[in-house]
Chain A
Amino acid sequence: MIAASKQPQQAEISNSDVIVASLEGVSKNYGSVRALRGVNFGVRAGEVVALLGPNGAGKTTAVKLLLGLMLPNSGRVRVFGGDPTNPGNRMRTGAMLQVGRVPETLRVREHIDLFSTYYRKPLALAEILAAAGLEKLSDRRFSDLSGGQKQRVLFALAICGDPDLLFLDEPTVGLDVEARRMLWDEIRRMVGRGKTVLLTTHYLQEADALADRVAVIHEGEIIAEGSPSEIKAKTAGKRIRCVTSLSVSALRQIAGVTDVKEDREAVELHAAEAEPVVRQLLARDAQLSGLEITSAGLEEAFLALTHDAARNENSSN
């Protein structure tokens, strides 16, 4: 009975092999829309994982399932080895979600005060304000804040309980460059304190800046997983746009070209590397004009990855 009289020991989560949050074969449908299709995904203690994907890929659904705000149609959701709705888990979890309207007449410090009350061992108000960069705004009403400042308040509410596990759903969406960098610094500071973070984003750059590991999600499936540099290597590619007299079929035969699209008077080629393709283009068509080379957008990168996924599936069959 001596053990009973002691404070329960906080489970140490220094072991980075411990999975603190996971989706195991999880599918989730909204009516006929299949938001997630058999997703397997885990977050280990102490790591920062980014779920990277375009809008509608299923990122928010994954976060809401992990927060116990929804139940999956099939599969299992585990947080700290248990049900995500377990009140003990909620005490150890913080969440920043996309919100349409936050009560606007309350002041920043009042919002933080209320959410801090929900937790047993909240951080001190001054510490929360500092961590979210809100020191000078604590007396402002929510309605008087800019978009970036509002995001920072939501971040403050997510961290106020000093949670072990932090879910950030598109934390920097709609922020300008400066505000985004500020929030990145704040997230890094949380990570520096040994927290586990799952963030969703549709910016590869953001995943690269923050995450130890990136999972690319597309149409409800995880199509690639790896370190940011691995993902970047997979999704690297250039878009070459030009006006040329060469036919589409001739363009397709150039080595390195993965895709050709006609766009009004011009064509758009996609290739892993631009230089060899451009050399060939110029050699074959001396009249070529309007040449532009840009990095492929994330959309193309996702397409490339889905093609890869489909090819792997076919070759393994």
Chain B
Amino acid sequence: MSTETIALSDTQVHLALSHTAIIYLKEAKYEFLKNLRLRVYTASVLSFPIMFYVLFGLVLNSKQAIGGTTVPTYLIATYGTFGVMGASLFGTAAGLASDRGLGWLQVKRASPMPPFAYFAAKVITSMIFSAVIVVALFTLGVALGGVRMPVAYFTKLLGTLVAGSLPFSAMGLALGYFAGPNSAPPTINLIYLPMSFCSGLWVPFMFLPKVVRQIALVLPPYHLSQLALGIVGAGRHESNAAHWEVLLAFTMICLGVARIGFQRDQEKMYG
């Protein structure tokens, strides 16, 4: 093989790679814009955690201490988890269920779009919205709630919560494959809201009834919130590795379920 040929095929590989990269970027960009302009999405996903935080963290209890830190700091971790969970569940499940049920996904599948780009765009968008929520809570806390923490801690908190978007995005994909276009949002709420409560995202864990506290131990949002609380010094001193393991296992289970849904869809069409 001549060197010229190798050089050319290298360029072709580069071109192919950069073309694929551009598709992924554009797909994510427009998924983000689509959701940003979708008032139903931004109103519920962004404003609820922020409103709750302002009300319960800044207006009502801002001077009190809880679990070894101040209420405004504590609630960044818990409402942060709540926000990340909502952004990820709604960001993946609602769109997927609607695209699947109403024909748009078929138009995309008939095009040369790499199928994985579609899912990646939803997950990336969910992570971006998750980051926006956490930064918003933190900014409000610093400005109005006297929250102080080293930059490194905040970076770690942000990274943890944004990474925590992944299990819930996976859960959203699974839901999106089994819910109908109209039933998806109420189904999400039916899971999201009780799960948030039982995980101690609204009422701090130590104030929950004993039965609920036991349920919390098997719920993924509990484990994510404990990781976040641990960073601000308000965790229950359980093993971080165990929390990550639960989240990882949960992610794998959800991806498995999503895969079953994906294959079921293919078979329905390929049957």
Indicate whether B190 reaches chain A with its CB closer than 8 angstroms. no
Indicate whether A150 reaches chain B with its CB closer than 8 angstroms. no
Residue of B nearest to A115 (CB): B111
Per the bound structure, the CA–CA distance linking A68 and B266 in Å amounts to 11
Indicate whether A105 reaches chain B with its CB closer than 8 angstroms. yes
Q: How far is the CB of A215 from chain B (nearest CB, A)?
A: 21
Q: How far is the CB of B121 from chain A (nearest CB, A)?
A: 10
Q: Which of B5, B33, B110 contacts A95 (CB 8 A)?
A: B110
Residue of B nearest to A72 (CB): B270
| B 99-116 to A, binary, CB cutoff 8 A, 1 in contact else 0 | 001111011011111000
Indicate whether B204 reaches chain A with its CB closer than 8 angstroms. no
Take A4-B5, A117-B26, A118-B111 as given contacts and tell me if A69 and B106 are in contact as well, using a CB distance cutoff of 8 Å.
Answer: yes
Q: Please provide the chain B residues from 36 to 71 with a CB less than 8 Å away from any CB of chain A in the complex.
A: 37-38
Asked whether, in the complex, the Cβ of A87 is within 8 Å of the Cβ of B112, the reply is yes
Indicate whether B19 reaches chain A with its CB closer than 8 angstroms. yes
Indicate whether A136 reaches chain B with its CB closer than 8 angstroms. no
Asked whether, in the complex, the Cβ of B104 is within 8 Å of the Cβ of A106, the reply is no
Interface size on B, residues (CB 8 A): 32
Per the bound structure, the CA–CA distance linking A34 and B41 in Å amounts to 41
A117 contacts which chain B residues (CB < 8 A)? 22-23, 26
Indicate whether A64 reaches chain B with its CB closer than 8 angstroms. yes
Take A5-B4, A70-B269, A99-B103 as given contacts and tell me if A114 and B30 are in contact as well, using a CB distance cutoff of 8 Å.
Answer: yes
Take A70-B270, A87-B112 as given contacts and tell me if A114 and B27 are in contact as well, using a CB distance cutoff of 8 Å.
Answer: yes
Asked whether, in the complex, the Cβ of A99 is within 8 Å of the Cβ of B8, the reply is no
Subset of 27 A-B contacts with CB under 8 Å: A1-B2, A69-B110, A69-B269, A70-B270, A71-B270, A71-B271, A87-B112, A97-B106, A99-B102, A100-B102, A100-B104, A101-B98, A105-B33, A105-B37, A106-B30, A106-B33, A106-B34, A106-B37, A113-B26, A113-B30, A114-B26, A115-B111, A117-B22, A118-B111, A119-B112, A154-B107, A161-B111
A245 contacts which chain B residues (CB < 8 A)? none
Most chain B CB atoms below 10 A, which of A93, A101, A167: A101
Q: Please provide the chain A residues from 100 to 156 with a CB less than 8 Å away from any CB of chain B in the complex.
A: 100-103, 105-106, 110, 113-115, 117-120, 141, 154
